[in-house]
Amino acid sequence: MIRIAIMYPNKPGIEFDSNYYRAFHLELVREKYTPFGLKGIELDEAKALNGPHKAPYLAIGYLTFESTKEFMNAIEESGEEIMNDVENFTNAKPILQVSKFSTL
């Protein structure tokens, strides 16, 4: 299994509409990527946005696939549409990391 982390930095001037992200963007991802093997979506939303212990990311979305090939097929087919929607909820440039995922 692989897991893709999509991280949205918590930096000055960054705006992030978590309601839109949860209600529309992640549902768009589910709709477009499920036919290519998307197994699940998870979301971490930061609680400490300011102060000495502020989170480095406003939100981190996680997508789980069986293989990197499935993920690459999904983004080849629908990635542009997904990325074009990002401007509807944030002015941040998302950071992606593809990792091997295992449950211990």
| pLDDT reading at 52 higher than 90 | no
Domain count for the chain, please give it.
1
Q: What is the mean pLDDT of residues 70-93?
A: 95
Q: Is 69 part of a structural domain of the chain?
A: no
CATH number of the domain that 53 lies in? Answer: 3.30.70.100
Domain that holds residue 89: 2-63+77-100
Beta strands 40-45 and 57-65 are antiparallel
Whether residue 68 lies inside any domain: the answer is no
Q: Would you state the pLDDT for residue 47?
A: 83
Mean pLDDT of 62-91: 96
pTM for the predicted model, two decimal places = 0.91
| Beta carbons within 8 Å of 6's beta carbon, 6+ residues apart | 60, 61, 62, 63, 94, 95, 96
Q: Which residue has the higher pLDDT, 51 or 7?
A: 7
Question: Is residue 71 situated within a structural domain?
Answer: no
Length of the chain, please? Answer: 104
